[in-house]
Amino acid sequence: MQSILLDTINGIKGERPPVWFMRQAGRVLPNYNKLKEKYSFREMMADPVIAADVTLMPVTDLGVDAAILFSDILVIPSAMGMALKWTDGGPVFPTPLSQYDKPVDHLAAQPDDLNYIYDVIDEILRKRDENIPLIGFSGAPLTTLAYMLQGISSNQNFPAAVKFMFQNKAETLRLIDAVAEMTIIYAKNQIAHGIDVFQLFETHAGLIPSAMYREMFLPAVQRISEAVRSTGTPFIYFPKGFSTGLKYVTPDLCDFVSIDWQMPLNHARELVHPEVGLQGNIDPRLLYASPAVIENELEKLKPFFRDNDKWILNLGHGFLPDTPYDNAKFVVDWVKNTTWK
């Protein structure tokens, strides 16, 4: 497969950086919104044909250099036996684990519940252009566990989840182990069905002190990484809000690390081990601005590219739901048509 994304991951510098976006298969796309008028998110995610079409939609509609599996990080708790309801206000676990003294005892692993996602991957590979890599993903242990303990996604501070972690360290470690094991099963099956890259989303790495994260959660990330990379599959790690904890991101942990928008790329490059590539870190809110303002900010990225062979242009988090489609398309077109040298 000839792919600018895979070449960059493998240390082959091109004429420009590869570009794709987190949350690119979603509400920013007019064609996605048309589908939403007919189907719920859950219905789209569960239908292999529709999910494959949505996965590949950003490649056609935006021109990005990679597709990322259309799915959700909460499929892991569901496959661990937790009841999950999809509501207009977001996903809800009616029985959050924080109400139990020994929550692991109330889980029952059901890995076959994820089989429909592998059918989606098979359909994507049948439909994609041979030069478009497919990125698979899962939620990382802290982020996944925060939802499982809290029960709802409306309070992004997860007070009940954090309280449980501080009060019940031993039980939290048992839960981390259980989440990591299911994530490894899930990742390996994605790889067996043909994904080209795997990204682990630790959206809430900044929820707890970095020292606590390193002690309790980073070993599980390491296990997941080793399981993925033992197959020869590149591993991208996204610890949003990890801040100066990035200095602990080494080649043993990942191939690339995705940088959020709060951390300047040059500072991240100083913190992260030089053998680890960087991905990111455009502020998603920049895409609310005019094309002239966006172009001015993109121009500032050229010196970084000239000095860094291993960099993937992306956002510092996902697209915001009301991001103007024309601005998203403008970014991709600009990346592809500007002179980077």
The pLDDT, as a whole number, for residue 154 is 66
For the four alpha carbons of 270, 271, 277 and 283, in that order, the dihedral sign comes to negative
Is residue 153 predicted with pLDDT exceeding 80?
A: no
- φ and ψ at residue 257, rounded to 5 degrees: -125, 135
**Structural domain for 137, as ranges:** 4-337
Is residue 10 predicted with pLDDT exceeding 90?
A: yes
Q: State the chain's mean pLDDT as an integer.
A: 96
Q: What is the mean predicted confidence (pLDDT) over 1-11?
A: 94
| Element holding 90 (H helix, E strand) | strand 90-92
**For residue 146, what is the domain's CATH number?**
3.20.20.210
The pLDDT, as a whole number, for residue 87 is 78
Rounded Cα gap, residues 132 and 14, in angstroms: 16
The pLDDT tens digits of the residues spanning 240-273 come to 999 999 999 999 999 999 999 999 999 999 999 9
Cα angle 328, 330, 336; round to 5: 110
Q: Which of 203, 259, 202, 199 is nearest to 229 (CA)?
A: 199
Rounded Cα gap, residues 85 and 132, in angstroms: 33
301 pLDDT tier (thresholds 50, 70, 90): very high
Sequential DSSP letters for 137-148: EEE-HHHHHHHH
Classified as helix, coil or strand, 115 is helix
Neighbours of 187 (CB within 10 A): 23
Distance (Å) of CA 59 to CA 159, 324, 332:
38, 17, 10
**pLDDT above 70 coverage of the chain, percent:** 99
Classified as helix, coil or strand, 197 is strand
Q: What is the mean predicted confidence (pLDDT) over 129-141?
A: 97
Rounded Cα gap, residues 173 and 147, in angstroms: 16
Distance (Å) of CA 306 to CA 16, 45, 340, 341:
9, 39, 8, 7
| Element holding 84 (H helix, E strand) | none
Pairing between strand 85-87 and 90-92? antiparallel
**How many domains is the chain built from?**
1
Q: What is the mean predicted confidence (pLDDT) over 223-228?
A: 98
The side-by-side arrangement of strands in the sheet containing 197-202 is 67-68, 134-139, 197-202, 235-239, 256-259, 277-280, 311-312
